Amino acid sequence: MTKIWQFASYHLWSLFSPPVGKEAWHCDMKRGFTKARKKEPTVKALLEQDTSWQRIGLLAQKGVYEFHQNIQLLEQPSGIKQVAEILQLSQESAEVQERVTGVLKNYHENPILVGRNVIKLIRGDEGFPEPILIWHGNYLFKLFAAIDCIFREPDGTIHILDFKTGKAEFDRRQAFVYLLAARYLYPQQPTVASFYNLESGKWSNRIKATAAQLNAIQVELARIAKQHQRDLWRYRKNPAEFQQIYPSNPGFNCQYCNFNSICEFSAAEVPA
């Protein structure tokens, strides 16, 4: 069977275009480093470094998972400490320890999944999910959708839940990608999606999508999958055109970029 290289995901979509209102933060060159140059030793090393916010998100997800591996931990005062030990939280930075401990306390006090018919709950470090093969006309691509949690509502509705940490606004595009995935995973079943912030306790409204909306999302993801492969092909054919294929957007956003130490266009001051 011929290997299918074309793929799409919410993460790839976010590398192509930012959420509304975040345009100043967007830089196509970050996509170039992440996708086209990811095997270069210096780039690979940077990609393998977890930032604090990535560690917080991963450990928060793992914490929820561990509580539900042993539901009695939610009933015991020592449950928070026991999960922290499982996560080896003492080995993390002070910021990560503080914020993840806050997540564990919040979830211990308000375990939102208890009593729900949970179909799927991931740890968060399982790697790439099994792709969904989508035919869009004559074009075949893989859709990757790393869904944190799925549960079934009492009325039979499939509910896709994505956990968040930090202060970033919810991006509805991610919910629509998950709802498109659900159309293939749970055909003919009513489906909704929502976000839940494990630090603030904020739960988004339930997000639904019509068939027309999902068709439009599929069109956009197919376009992104095609463009991504075109850009990779152009870069591999002529690496000298990296800047033209993946234009930079230097500014205040550079100080938060993983690649500011190797990017010649970075506006951030990087320590020697």
Q: Which are the contacts of 213, defined by CB distance < 8 A and separation ≥ 6?
A: 176
133 falls within a domain: yes
The predicted model scores a pTM of: 0.92
CA-based torsion, 220, 248, 128, 235: positive or negative: positive
| Pair (183, 251) in one structural domain | yes
Quick check: is 44 in a domain?
A: no
Domain ranges, residue 101: 50-111
Residue ending a domain, among 85, 111, 137, is 111
Per-residue pLDDT of the chain (272 residues; tens, 9 = 90+): 567 689 999 999 999 999 888 888 899 999 999 999 999 999 999 999 888 899 999 999 999 999 999 999 999 999 999 999 999 999 999 999 999 999 999 999 999 999 999 999 999 999 889 999 999 999 999 999 999 999 999 999 999 999 999 987 899 999 999 999 999 999 999 999 999 999 999 999 999 999 999 999 999 999 999 999 999 999 999 999 999 999 999 998 899 899 999 999 988 654 44
The residue among 75, 92, 111 that closes a domain is 111
**Domain count within the chain:** 2
Q: Cβ atoms within 10 A of the Cβ of 100, count?
A: 26
197 and 124 in a common domain: yes
